[in-house]
Structures are given as C-alpha cells and as structure tokens.
Amino acid sequence: MTSDVDPERVILLFSYGTLQDPAVQLACFGRLLTGEPDTVAGYRRGTITIVEAGAPDPATYPILDASDDANDRVAGVVLTLDQAGLARADDYEGPEYRRVRVRTQSGRDAWVYIRA
C-alpha cells in the first residue's frame, strides 16, 4: 500500500480508537491512512461521554489516561500523516482530548490523544 504523505514530512499518530475506522478516515482525511499495529505503555484505555452539537443523545468514545503502572499497555495502530492531516485530527478530536508525544513499543515517536 502506498501513502500520499511525503516521506520527508511524515508525522506518526498512535490511534487506539475511532481514527482506525475507514469511514472516519475518509470523512476526516479524505482518504484511507496507512498504519502498523503497535502499543504504548503507561496508559490505560477508558471512555468519555460527549454531547455533540445537533446529536439527540450523548456518545461514548475511547480515551487514554496516564497510568502510574508502567505495565499498563494500550494496543492500537501507528498512522502515517502529514502536517495538514495532523491538523484535521486535532479538529476531529476536539477539546476533550489533548495531543502528547509517546514512544511506542516498537521504538517510534508518535503523537497520541489523551484526556485533556
């Protein structure tokens, strides 16, 4: 599979939730993203309930919380983006999330969204 991202400007984003969904990727980025399975340590996967504008009911989404236990691990996918794609991901995630840098189990530095 080829990527539309310039290899000189690659940004890695660790996704553990909805950004792995092909329909979400098409809506958010206008294309399917390339990615590889990976994990991050020191976080726990939880949930957050968000009331979205115009939605009749609140929706529940996955979210990461920092953990004091280095043995806690979260499985996900490292997605390949460019700067414009990262900006779109920021818009998609919204104010309930904040983006931080992590080192994945495979040794890659990537961004990830955690609880704000």
Domain assignment present for 55: no
Q: How far apart are CA 101 and CA 109, in angstroms?
A: 7
How many domains does the chain contain in total? 1
The tokens describing 83, both together, are 């700067």
The CATH number assigned to the domain holding 36 equals 3.10.490.10
Domain assignment present for 60: no
Alpha helices in 1-116 (DSSP H): 22-29, 83-93
Domain assignment present for 63: no
> Would you state the pLDDT for residue 5?
52
Domain assignment present for 49: no
Q: Give me the domain span that covers residue 15.
A: 7-41+73-115
Q: To which residue do tokens 């660790």 refer?
A: 14
Domain assignment present for 24: yes
> Would you state the pLDDT for residue 15?
98
Would you call 12 helix, strand, or coil by DSSP?
strand
Domain assignment present for 83: yes
> Would you state the pLDDT for residue 2?
42
* Residue-level pLDDT, tens digit, the chain, 116 residues: 344 555 568 999 999 999 999 999 999 999 999 999 999 999 999 999 998 888 889 999 999 999 999 899 999 999 999 999 999 999 999 999 999 999 999 999 999 999 99
